[in-house]
């Protein structure tokens, strides 16, 4: 699978390092790709505040508040809830590497690139990986999950991607959670692109390990991965029989001693990113989760309508389409890279191209977090009309 973006490689020559380059001023973009989304001014401002030590009482107080807000956003009472110091993929690795041991069986639901990534990482943890589904663009049905659980008694975990942004698939989770409890498997969920955008209810849905990313519907810059472990999820880490996980940096037991009451130094937290996440979560909870889900539902509806009117067709079947991220087949005759380049250069609008087997065939258009406005949909529609010559 290739994720190449070769159309964008006519880059300026890098500095030779002997003379430092000019200060960088980013161009203004309307961010309608699969993330990062637009970052609100108060979040940008928070990031520019003066530095604090990572063991300063004031910073530890901030970290406590971030954890409390993350619990609210995940809808969980899990004690072990914290931001992983890395991108969403670091959250994925943290989730899988802590609970999977060599020769464990991991059942991974695959509807696109991020399910495939879970499969890859689970394999690197030494697990025996079995795929459920596997067709890009198609959600996994509870019956398929139950069949897999029956075929692999004693499976350690079922893994699923809530919002599969490579294909625009909204994967229902509640029934899968019920099955995991019945069969005694852990339920590991990728909520990178769902948290703060569509309903996510970690405790009610029986999710044991759930991770997200900051740069999607939370509208915080990329660089942190909120994660939560249920008591059962944490017990899987604590009770490992093969020894500690191969990763030290993402070892949830060690990190738990820093983010919990013990305050034992593990690694230096990315302080400025935590300022940003604190402010971003404040905005999310101030708007209210339900209000936020509704906004994504409504604007996502407008987006899909606008796209279909212009000849784009959604990849996912009805009822399983993410409002915050439309993955659509291109209209006949439209050439992917030049059209995206025109959108960026002439209209300052970023949309995403296809990954892997969808490269060149789909666009991924996000209305996530602060990017999720009717005005952005109208601006994109106008630009598309110009480009399509309609």
348 binds a second copy (CB under 8 A): no
* 196-225 footprint of a second copy as x/- string (CB under 8 A): -----------------x-x-----xxx--
Could you say whether residue 337 binds a second copy (CB under 8 A)? no
Residue 167 touching a second copy (CB under 8 A): no
Does position 269 interact with a second copy (CB under 8 A)? The reply is yes
Q: Which of residues 46-105 bind a second copy (CB under 8 A)?
A: 46-62, 64-65, 67-69, 71-72, 85-90, 92-93, 97
Q: Which is nearer to a second copy, 265 or 308 (CB)?
A: 265
Question: Residue 358's closest CA among 89, 138, 211?
Answer: 138
> In the set 267, 305, 361, 382, which binds a second copy (CB under 8 A)?
267
Q: DSSP for 39-102, please give it.
A: --HHHHHHHTSPP--TT-HHHHHHHHHHHHHHHHHHT---SEEEEESS-HHHHHHHHHHHH--T
Q: Does 121 bind a second copy (CB under 8 A)?
A: yes
- 15 contributes a contact to a second copy by CB under 8 A: yes
Does residue 5 bind a second copy (CB under 8 A)? yes
Strand order in the sheet with 80-84: 80-84, 225-229, 209-211, 186-190, 157-161, 105-110, 128-133
Helix H segments across 170-229? 174-183
Between residues 215 and 324, which has the closer beta carbon with respect to a second copy?
A: 215
- Backbone φ and ψ for 364, nearest 5 degrees, come out as -120, 115
Residue 131: Cβ-neighbour burial (10 angstroms; 0-12, 13-18, 19+): middle
Q: Which residues does 182 contact at the CB level (< 8 Å), separation at least 6?
A: none
Choice between 53 and 154, CB closer to a second copy: 53
How many chain residues interact with a second copy (CB under 8 A)? 110
Distance from C-alpha of 170 to C-alpha of 227, rounded to nearest angstrom: 20
314 binds a second copy (CB under 8 A): no
Q: How far is the CB of 3 from a second copy (least distance, A)?
A: 4
390 CB burial (10 A radius; 0-12, 13-18, 19+): exposed
Decide if residue 226 touches a second copy (CB under 8 A). Answer: no
Between 182 and 268, CB nearer to a second copy: 268
Distance CA 265, CA 165 (A): 35
Segment 22 to 41, residues that bind a second copy, using CB under 8 A: 23-29, 31, 33, 35-39
324 near a second copy (CB under 8 A) = no
């Amino acid at each position: 699978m290739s994720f190449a973006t070769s159309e964008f490689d006519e880059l300026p020559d890098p500095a030779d390092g002997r003379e430092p380059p000019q200060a960088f001023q980013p161009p203004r973009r309307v961010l309608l790709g699969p993330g990062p989304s637009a970052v609100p001014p108060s979040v940008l401002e928070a990031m520019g505040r003066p530095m604090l030590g990572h063991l300063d009482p004031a910073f530890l107080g901030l970290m406590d508040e971030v954890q409390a807000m993350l619990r609210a956003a995940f809808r969980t009472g899990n004690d072990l809830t914290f931001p992983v110091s890395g991108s969403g993929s670091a959250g994925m690795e943290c989730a899988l590497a802590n609970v999977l041991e060599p020769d464990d069986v991991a059942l991974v639901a695959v509807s696109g690139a991020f399910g495939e990534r879970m499969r890859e990482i689970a394999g690197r943890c030494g697990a025996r990986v079995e795929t459920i589904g596997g067709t890009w663009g198609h959600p996994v049905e509870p019956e398929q999950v139950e069949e897999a659980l029956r075929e692999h008694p004693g499976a350690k975990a079922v893994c699923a991607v809530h919002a599969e942004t490579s294909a625009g698939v909204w994967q229902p989770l509640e029934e899968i959670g019920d099955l995991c409890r019945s069969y005694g498997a852990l339920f590991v969920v990728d909520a990178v692109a769902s948290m703060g955008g569509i309903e996510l209810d970690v405790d009610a849905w029986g999710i044991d390990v759930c991770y997200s990313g900051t740069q999607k519907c939370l509208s915080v810059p990329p660089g942190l991965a909120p994660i939560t472990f249920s008591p059962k999820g944490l017990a899987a880490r604590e009770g490992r029989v093969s020894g500690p996980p191969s990763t030290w940096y993402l070892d949830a037991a060690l990190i738990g001693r820093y983010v919990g009451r013990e305050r034992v130094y593990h690694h230096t937290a990315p302080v400025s990113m935590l300022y940003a996440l604190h402010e971003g979560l404040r905005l999310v909870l101030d708007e209210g989760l339900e209000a936020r889900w509704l906004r994504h539902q409504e604007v996502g509806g407008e987006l899909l309508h606008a796209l279909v009117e212009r000849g784009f067709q959604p990849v996912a079947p009805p009822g399983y389409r993410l409002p915050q991220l439309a993955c659509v087949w291109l209209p006949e005759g439209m050439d992917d890279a030049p059209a995206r380049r025109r959108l960026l250069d002439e209209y300052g609008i970023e949309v995403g191209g296809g990954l892997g087997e969808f490269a060149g065939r789909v666009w991924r258009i996000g209305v996530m977090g602060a990017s999720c406005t009717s005005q952005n949909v109208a601006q994109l529609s106008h630009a598309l009309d110009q480009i399509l010559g309609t």
